[in-house]
Structure 1
């Protein structure tokens, strides 16, 4: 027979674990939620809307949307072949390349900005040669796109790589037996099958590029209408105009939350199908 004391101790331990789990989870969610709620309720919606309509804020928003979209497109164009090669090919140095691609996700953004500046600055490794043709990249809109791509592209590459690795390759082999070309199979079979991973990677890449600050201000600087993105505008406004800073922060919060929520809902919809 099972000892009653053992059963009671087991039940007691189970309840203790449940209570501890709920308590720690609640504290964690409060730690995340209270600051965000404080940001949302600090100013009235009408006051926030009036700040958003200011020309400089709208300009920063336009620039952020433009550069973020361009950097995401660059990440897709250049990152998709990289993800495919890393997922399907086995070669010497593959682990090193995977580490190199993931490195920007853990590297301090300011370090990334310094690295870009030392590479593409007028006296940089490549910048000195670009200067011969009167091409200057730092402190331009192109520099913003490059900084965002540098820090955000790995999110897309890693997500796409995971999609390629998890794909059952029997579908591709079936297409080959029907005399489908590799290019046709890739665009009409492979990519549609890993669409959830691609969409998730695109969303994460776009959101990370939108929130990029350190690498951008180091490599591109702060020039309204040219390099001043929303995160930079938040930082500058926080030093002199708190209301404007809050309005910008709320916009960034709303866009990021809406994007992540849309990705989550679309993923659930696909799972139900």
Structure 2
């Protein structure tokens, strides 16, 4: 059996590695230590907390559905485009990942605001004002979550290759049959992982939502905004803020477990 001596890391790397783990874990432990466990059920089930929770779930599911409708075709276009076009599209898709959420909120407000051409067109056609509405929450969540879904599916499509698609086309299968019977089934792991990550990012969105949708209880106040409001001394109490934070933490852990379970080659 080959020796693994050459794979051993230098001893000096363990100290910064431990500090890195501590930086990630200790804040979460501090959050757990501040939870009011005797009242956590009542905190999470208070009227304002349930309103924020229900709004977060509804808007996150709507944003995930919107991202799936728009993102799957976009991922397919990127995966099947020439290298230069694919590289350009990937760069554009990645912008919300590195853009500060507050900047995204300002951009959405300028695009869909009442004084913008797009906002005026929407208002004249359907009589809808998007900013500071529940629909604005969905749009803000979609803006920040769409890259997670697109890049996940696009990576899965590229890894699968085009061999089976070309063979099916040679045998007479039409484009829609190839798409529905071969392409999408092969991309299922990436699709599921992308949908889960998209939902997790949407439910945790704060910055773009705050600027574009506002913080109106029952209308635009999602869980992250309810937590922020509570810690600033308004609305729900701090115990409720901690309880909602733990709920979001549990959601994040569940998302990671689901992604790992659907990842190709994951250890069972």
User: TM over 0.5, yes or no?
Assistant: yes
RMSD (CA atoms): 2.1
Q: 2:247 aligns to what? A: 251
Structure 2 residue ranges without an equivalent (≥5): none
Give 1:41 shift. 2.4
Q: 1:184 aligns to what? A: 177
Q: Per-residue displacement from partner, 1:196-242 (whole Å, max 9, x unpaired)?
A: 11122112111111111000010000111110000000000111222
Provide the C-alpha distance between the structure 2 equivalents of 1:164 and 1:262, rounded to a whole number of angstroms. Answer: 20
Provide the C-alpha distance between the structure 2 equivalents of 1:158 and 1:14, rounded to a whole number of angstroms. Answer: 32
Q: 1:242 aligns to what? A: 238
Distance 1:91 1:125, change over 3 A: farther
Distance 1:122 1:169, change over 3 A: same
Structure 1 residue ranges without an equivalent (≥5): 1-10
Q: 1:86 aligns to what? A: 78
Distance 1:131 1:177, change over 3 A: closer
Residue pair 1:118, 1:125 contacting (<8 A) in 2 also: no
Q: 2:141 aligns to what? A: 148
Q: 1:75 aligns to what? A: 67
Provide the C-alpha distance between the structure 2 equivalents of 1:36 and 1:92, rounded to a whole number of angstroms. Answer: 42
Distance 1:25 1:91, change over 3 A: closer
Q: 1:6 aligns to what? A: none
Q: 1:8 aligns to what? A: none
Q: 1:120 aligns to what? A: 112
Q: State the TM-score, normalizing by the size of structure 1.
A: 0.88
Q: 1:200 aligns to what? A: 193
Provide the C-alpha distance between the structure 2 equivalents of 1:185 and 1:251, rounded to a whole number of angstroms. Answer: 42
Count of aligned positions = 260
Runs of 4+ in 1 over 6 A off after TM superposition: none
Three-state SS of the structure 1 residue aligned to 2:131 is: coil
Three-state SS of the structure 2 residue aligned to 1:126 is: helix
Give 1:128 shift. 2.0
Three-state SS of the structure 1 residue aligned to 2:142 is: helix
Residue pair 1:51, 1:247 contacting (<8 A) in 2 also: yes
Distance 1:119 1:221, change over 3 A: same
Q: State the TM-score, normalizing by the size of structure 2.
A: 0.90
Residue pair 1:121, 1:138 contacting (<8 A) in 2 also: yes
Residue pair 2:102, 2:208 contacting (<8 A) in 1 also: yes
Q: Given the alignment, which residue of 126, 130, 149 partners 2:122? A: 130
Distance 1:261 1:141, change over 3 A: same
